[in-house]
Amino acid sequence: MSTKPRVLVAMSGGVDSSLTAALLVQQGYDVIGATMQIWDKDVPESDAENRGCCSLSAVDDARRVADKIGIPYYVLNFREMFEDTVIDYFVAEYGAGKTPNPCIACNRYVKFEGLLQKALALGAEYVATGHYARIGYNDTLGRHTLSKGIDHTKDQSYALYHLNQNTLKHFLMPLGDYTKVRTRELAAEFGLSVANKPESQEICFVPDDDYKGFLAEKSPDSLRPGNIIDVHGKIVGQHQGLPLYTIGQRKGLGIAAGKPLYVVKLDFANNQVIVGSNEDVFSSELIAEDLNFITIDRLEKPITVSAKIRYGSREGIAIVTPLTKGSVHVKFFEPQRAITPGQSVVFYDGDMVIGGGIIKNSV
């Protein structure tokens, strides 16, 4: 019998969560594996290329790993919660003129809060995930902390800034101390069949990555064609619906112009795509709302941070100033490219996550 507490490992069928489960078993935890079933496809899956994170083939992979390392494994039903929170949010955000980040919403409401509730219901003390981030406790602050994984190229702390003191207390992320390369090596050493599985990138609930088809079905009003105008207000082309464009995008505008044109802004009020030069895509200030802070209870005075405005972007030094109504003003020292409403901005102090919020608009 193991003496360590029970832990529920969120298994996606990928190499990261598989290794997480294997490591915790090795460390003597009473491990249960679980996959969240959040999206139901109507057609039989015979397509071996289908590697979305919630596909039945992902379940098969996770189950194989669980059998291999000898732990009980369950598929948990999260469909209603997922539909109510993530899909409705995704569609509503597009409708409201923002670029939603469904993975952040899924992480926040389903993968963390929802899974923690299930884990506690199963008598587990912890939930473990395969994220490249480190959870710790800082005695000086007297708080649970979240830091970047030691493999900065794979760091996923950006997507986790919403974790609060109560959730952090119950989560384990052992891979924060490993590099991705080491993860694959260890997975191979454990004999896990998923050691060399490619990473999945698509937004898992949009079949075949077909946003247009998905939105046409779920939110047909969001796909109204309209004008593409330049920064001076001149009509230069036609768009197929604002949700199909992203700020900073260059390709696929269908405009023949002398110089390269980029999407600068999506004007939902007037159903217009505004294009301009690459320089026009840069700005230095933004307003963020829906904030969560980890190292502090709340922001009471301006602080200097290193801030990141999207998963793949580089951090920039910025001053964060509290505003009324729980929002903040963020001023970067260097202009940032393609600040996008709906994406998250995350504040760091070195490797440690201070907190973050959702970008309301650039200024």
Partner 1 sequence: MERIYFDHSATTPVDREVAKVMLEYMTEKFGNPSSVHSFGRETRKAVEEARQSVAALLGAAANEIFFTSGGTESDNLALKGIAFANRKKGNHIITTAIEHHAVLHACEYLEKQGFTVTYLPVDENAMVNVEDVRNAITDKTILISVMFANNEVGTIQPIKEIGQLAKEKNIYFHTDAVQAVGNCHIDVNELNIDLLSLSGHKLYGPKGIGAIYIRKGVKIESTQHGGSQERKLRPGTENVPGIVGLGKAADLARIELNQRISHLTNLRDKLIKGIQEKISDIKLNGHKENRLPGNVNISFLYVEGESLLLNLDLKGIAASSGSACTSGSLDPSHVLLAMGLTHEVAHGSLRLSLGRGNTEDDINYCLEVLPQILERLRSMSPLNANSKLAANNPCSQCDHH
Which residues are identified as catalytic?
106, 204
CA atoms within 13 A on the CB side of 75: 17
- Check residue 81 for interaction with partner 1 (CB under 8 A): no
- Considering only 76-84, 91-99, 221-229, 351-359, which stretch makes contact with partner 1 by CB under 8 A? 76-84
In the complex with partner 1, the residue whose CB is nearer, 63 or 143, is 63
At closest approach, how far in Å is the CB of 261 from partner 1?
Answer: 44
Q: Of residues 43, 48, 121, 269, which one binds partner 1 by CB under 8 A?
A: 121
- The closest alpha carbon to 327, from 301, 357, 350, belongs to 357
In angstroms, what CA-CA distances link 67 with 128, 209, 231? 18, 31, 59
- Check residue 122 for interaction with partner 1 (CB under 8 A): yes
What angle is formed at CA 97 by the lines to CA 93 and CA 101, rounded to 5 degrees? Answer: 40
User: What sign for the dihedral angle of Cα 156, 160, 165, 170?
Assistant: negative
At closest approach, how far in Å is the CB of 75 from partner 1?
Answer: 5
- Check residue 76 for interaction with partner 1 (CB under 8 A): yes
At closest approach, how far in Å is the CB of 292 from partner 1?
Answer: 21
Query: Beta-carbon neighbour count of residue 261 at 10 Å?
Result: 21
In angstroms, what CA-CA distances link 263 with 16, 285, 358? 35, 18, 20
Q: Of residues 51, 98, 118, 239, which one binds partner 1 by CB under 8 A?
A: 118
Q: Of residues 26, 27, 47, 72, which one binds partner 1 by CB under 8 A?
A: 72
First to last CA, the chain: 59
Provide the strand spans (E) within the chain.
Answer: 6-10, 30-37, 73-77, 126-128, 133-138, 143-148, 171-172, 226-230, 235-239, 262-267, 272-276, 282-293, 303-308, 316-322, 328-337, 344-349, 352-362
Angstrom distance (rounded) from CA 62 to CA 14: 7
In the complex with partner 1, the residue whose CB is nearer, 118 or 162, is 118
Rounded to the nearest 10 degrees, the angle between the axes of helix 88-95 and helix 211-218 is 90
The number of residues that bind partner 1 (CB under 8 A) is: 18
Q: Of residues 50, 64, 74, 195, which one binds partner 1 by CB under 8 A?
A: 74
In the complex with partner 1, the residue whose CB is nearer, 80 or 139, is 80
At closest approach, how far in Å is the CB of 44 from partner 1?
Answer: 10
In the complex with partner 1, the residue whose CB is nearer, 204 or 354, is 204
At closest approach, how far in Å is the CB of 232 from partner 1?
Answer: 48
Q: Of residues 37, 278, 313, 327, which one binds partner 1 by CB under 8 A?
A: 37
What angle is formed at CA 172 by the lines to CA 192 and CA 71, rounded to 5 degrees? Answer: 40
In the complex with partner 1, the residue whose CB is nearer, 104 or 110, is 110
- Check residue 67 for interaction with partner 1 (CB under 8 A): no
- Check residue 66 for interaction with partner 1 (CB under 8 A): no
Angstrom distance (rounded) from CA 274 to CA 304: 32
Instruction: Give residues in contact with partner 1 (CB under 8 A).
Output: 32, 37, 40, 56, 59, 72, 74-77, 79-80, 117-118, 120-123
